Amino acid sequence: MRLRLFFLILILFTGCRSNSEYTIISGGFRFSADLKLSPAEKRADSVLNARRKELLTRKGDNWSLFRSFTSTKAELQKEDLYAIFKKMPKGGLVHVHATAAGDVDWLISFALSMPECFVYWSEENASYTPGQLAFFPDGNIPPGWLPIQELAHSDPDLKTKLFRLYTLGPEDENLPDLWIEFEKIFKRVGAFIYYKPVFISYFKNSLESLASEGIQFVELRTSLGKILNEDGTTTTDEAVIELYKSVVTVVRASHPFFDLRIIANAGRGGTLEAVGDQVQRINRFKLQYPEMIVGFDLVGEEAKGYSNGYFSPALLNSQAPLFLHGGESISASNHNIGDAVNLNAPRIGHGINLFFFPDLEKTLIANKTLLELCPISNQELQYVPDFRLHPALGYLQRGVQATLGSDDPAFFQSLGLTDDYFVAYLSWNLDLRSIKKLVLNSITYGGQSYPAQQVHLDLFNKRWEEFIQCVNMQ
Ligand SMILES: [Zn+2]
């Protein structure tokens, strides 16, 4: 009898304990705990959750999506649940790089339509890499360059070959250094995009496509480099910003509330002096265009470039807030997140390796520092082998604030933000409250001033209500 009573107490005790642990862990997306869902939102949460359960049961635990977005994306994008996420209002896209923000298929077709466009189609050398695009208004064509239309005439597979050269895919998975290939893509398409007639069409197409995915504003990371004119001259510094502004005016004809902001950047492979010069240049822009220039950042592979701390003397002079890449790494010796915190950065790009530094995580939570998470980028660049193993899930559970970005979607065969939200929803067991918080954070942590921020919040709330109604009619 005594023994039976002992076991009864033991069962009750352990049962209670496991229940309370379950509550803490499973319901514990602390970063979104302050949001209260309406009854309609709770119904929508159940609708989406049931659909996710059906999809994941049908695909099984070994679904290739978790380990390879590029080989599964076509199948993924046919799902009804994906179509719902495509319609979801997404607030701001606050982590995306200009050269990789568009659509590679569009880029190839546009290049093929231009008789003056040349492609390098010879052996790799220090200056050029196969598939590199350029224009030569002065008529001096270096060896190895061909008019792209001439090459297309003799090679019917050119489009497919170029697509492989301008994107990462399964064929690149076993490369010894993926970043070398990744950076070659920037080299291949950079001079093409920054040719004035292409620049205008490319950004018009890219921004319209983002706006039609429910993105209200974009904070574009760019060095604001000069643009080549058709007569061979280059634009002045101010003309580059004016060009961006003129593109936004065109986009607003079909998306009246759309906004574009710039996070100017410098390369972390450069010298302290070069970064200092770029900070001063951007400070001048910030004075001239205070609403347009919203941040400053360092870009490039963290493992090979200098740390955020190394550039502190230059970065401390920035008049724009520091939205620094940090922790795009799985190395315990990478301290870029800590450096960014020391530099009072309100937002940090990626933050993958935060799991090595629990005290730093507490600081991020206390300071309400935002992580710009980029799940597809992290998988494609092989920092995270499986979306379900992404450490961000733990960060969100413990209360680190975050939003989602797409980083370099064109090069990852992705478009916009739907793909990132969808894989995060499927892989991290997020509830609708957390999805909404990720989106809201993109607005409340955005670089725009208060009145503009309120306009975007009001617009988002209206669109969100319509979205919830739409989900509940499914
Ligand atoms: Zn980035």
| Per-residue pLDDT tens digits for 140-190 | 999 999 999 999 999 999 999 999 999 999 899 899 999 999 999 999 999
258-314: pLDDT as tens digits: 999 999 999 999 999 999 999 999 999 999 999 999 999 999 999 999 999 999 999
Which residue ranges does the chain devote to CATH 3.20.20.140? 69-103+199-468
387-398: pLDDT as tens digits: 999 999 999 999
Mean of pLDDT values over 205-228: 96
Q: What is the CA radius of gyration of the chain?
A: 24
On the question of pLDDT at 21 being above 90, the answer is no
- pLDDT, averaged across the chain: 93
pLDDT band of residue 24 (cuts 50, 70, 90) is: very low
470 C-alpha vs ligand 1 centroid, how far in Å?
33
On the question of pLDDT at 2 being above 60, the answer is no
What's the pLDDT at 415?
87
36-84: pLDDT as tens digits: 999 999 999 999 999 999 999 999 999 999 999 999 999 999 999 999 9
On the question of pLDDT at 437 being above 70, the answer is yes
Q: Quick one: which H or E segment has residue 145?
A: strand 145-147
Q: Which tokens hold the place of 437?
A: 């918080």
22 C-alpha vs ligand 1 centroid, how far in Å?
35
312 C-alpha vs ligand 1 centroid, how far in Å?
19
On the question of pLDDT at 16 being above 60, the answer is no
On the question of pLDDT at 248 being above 80, the answer is yes
CA distance 262 to 288: 13
Q: Is 345 helix (H, G, I), strand (E, B) or coil?
A: coil
C-beta of residue 351 within 8 angstroms of C-beta of residue 369: no
23 C-alpha vs ligand 1 centroid, how far in Å?
35
On the question of pLDDT at 129 being above 60, the answer is yes
Q: Is 133 helix (H, G, I), strand (E, B) or coil?
A: strand
Tabulate helix, strand, coil % of the chain (nearest 5): 55, 15, 35
pLDDT band of residue 452 (cuts 50, 70, 90) is: confident
In sequence order, the β-bridge partners of residue 119 are 133, 146
CA distance 163 to 322: 34
What's the pLDDT at 139?
94
Q: Which tokens hold the place of 128?
A: 């050029």
What's the pLDDT at 3?
41
212 C-alpha vs ligand 1 centroid, how far in Å?
22
On the question of pLDDT at 10 being above 80, the answer is no
On the question of pLDDT at 339 being above 90, the answer is yes
247 C-alpha vs ligand 1 centroid, how far in Å?
23
pTM of this structure: 0.93
C-beta of residue 227 within 8 angstroms of C-beta of residue 234: yes
Q: Is 61 helix (H, G, I), strand (E, B) or coil?
A: coil
396 C-alpha vs ligand 1 centroid, how far in Å?
20
226 C-alpha vs ligand 1 centroid, how far in Å?
21
Q: Which tokens hold the place of 222?
A: 């760019």
What's the pLDDT at 27?
54
Q: Which residues contact 97 (CB under 8 A, 6 or more apart)?
A: 220, 221, 222, 299, 407, 408
Strand pairing of 145-147 and 118-120? Answer: antiparallel
In sequence order, the β-bridge partners of residue 220 are 96, 262
57 C-alpha vs ligand 1 centroid, how far in Å?
33
On the question of pLDDT at 353 being above 80, the answer is yes
On the question of pLDDT at 215 being above 50, the answer is yes
325 C-alpha vs ligand 1 centroid, how far in Å?
7
Q: Which tokens hold the place of 21?
A: 């642990």
pLDDT band of residue 236 (cuts 50, 70, 90) is: confident
Percent of the chain with pLDDT over 70: 94
465 C-alpha vs ligand 1 centroid, how far in Å?
31
Mean of pLDDT values over 333-347: 98
pLDDT band of residue 26 (cuts 50, 70, 90) is: very low
What's the pLDDT at 271?
98
349 C-alpha vs ligand 1 centroid, how far in Å?
6
CA distance 321 to 296: 6
What is the assigned CATH class of domain 69-103+199-468? alpha beta
Phi-psi region of 140 (alpha: psi -120 to 50; beta: other; left: phi over 0): beta
